[in-house]
A and B are shown apart, each in its own frame.
Chain A
Amino acid sequence: MSATTTWIVVLGTAAATMALKAVGPVLLGGRPLPARLTRIVTLLGPALLAALVATATFAVDRDLVVDERLAGVAAAGVALLFRAPVLIVVVIAAATTGLLRAFV
């Protein structure tokens, strides 16, 4: 990626996040959001995170492939079931995938 693109993303993401965090305390004061809106926004997290899991596991550019990443993510899932800390989960995923690439 170009340096320009990188910096546009860094600054754009910062501006969007600052605005989203500030909108309640600075503009709205004490007024609550409608419950329906809160319910929808709450579901953005699971929807987007699952989409990121899926594409980061299977996508290579515009193709969907099954490769060593899937084994790493599956191992991460097992680690999460055993309530492993996040860093351990990530290391297990990387190690599984890296070892499969090296030896299989």
Chain B
Amino acid sequence: MGTGSERTARDGIRSVAPLAIAVFAFGVAFGVLARGTGMGAIAPIVMSLTTFAGSAQFAAVTVLGSGGSAATAILAAALLNARYGPIGVTVAPFVHGGPWSRFVHAQLIVDESWAVAAEGDGRWNPRVLLGAGLGIYVAWVVGTAIGVVFGDLIGDPDRLGLDAAFPALFLALLAPQLRTRTSVAAAVLGAGIALVLTPLSPAGVPIVAASIACFIGLARGGSA
């Protein structure tokens, strides 16, 4: 990396390759777990093709698997993806072309491609974003497909402890986000809200309700 705006889409693919391997493994996990919740074989693959946002897909599948309604599953996923609003805004000034080109670039934004495409001075390289995003996308979709096939061979997922794989995965996604006191507070509050509401409300609702914990970002004006 380094030479700023000179980087190309090929550089994007190259610098994202180690991350793509992790995303591939993550995709395999999604395929296995989604298959285990009874979604069938095609739906998880179509979801990876069309949604392309790992944590949100896991969240939607978890809510569905626990008996939540379609609406709460979609809402939980959308809330988890709300960060792509501000993330998209940071990239917007550097994505050129017509609305269609902008739309395609926007779909290739995931946490990894966004991070790799950052030039470090508040600018983003759209070519790197495109290359890195495509690399991650292929890894994610192929991983999911392989996971679905594996999931078919595994049989009863609970016997293998796969029900513990879901919370472990969310914990792994949560850990890097706990960099500030405010984010730790939001996490503790969110978990508390969800646990208190679990016996009191239909499945899925506790997850969605936990999102109100983010408003402590207003109470504490400091770093978030």
User: Is the A/B pair a real complex?
Assistant: yes
Which label, helix, strand, loop or mixed, suits the secondary structure of the B interface?
helix
Q: From residue 1 to 43 of chain A, which have CB atoms closer than 8 A to chain B? A: 1, 3, 5-14, 16-18, 20-26, 28-33, 36-43
Decide: A30 and B92 in contact? CB cutoff 8 A: yes
Chain B: which residue is nearest A3 at the CB level? B40
Q: From residue 3 to 33 of chain B, which have CB atoms closer than 8 A to chain A? A: 22, 25-26, 28-29
0/1 string, B151-174, CB within 8 A of A gives 1: 000000011111111111111111
User: Which chain B residues lie closer than 8 Å to A59 at the CB level?
Assistant: 66, 198, 206
Interface magnitude class on chain A: 35 or more
Decide: A13 and B102 in contact? CB cutoff 8 A: no
Does B130 interact with chain A (Cβ within 8 Å)?
A: no
Which label, helix, strand, loop or mixed, suits the secondary structure of the A interface?
helix
Q: What is the number of residues of chain B that contact chain A, defined by CB distance less than 8 Å? A: 105
User: Which chain A residues lie closer than 8 Å to B55 at the CB level?
Assistant: 45, 49
Interface, chain B (partner A; CB < 8 A): 22, 25-26, 28-29, 37-40, 43, 46-47, 50-53, 55-60, 62, 64-67, 69-70, 73-74, 76-93, 95, 99, 102-103, 105-107, 109, 158-175, 177-178, 182-184, 186-195, 198-199, 203, 206-207, 210-218, 224
Besides the known contacts A58-B195, A59-B198, A62-B198, 6 further A-B residue pairs in the complex with CB atoms under 8 A apart: A12-B74, A37-B86, A45-B80, A52-B166, A86-B169, A94-B165
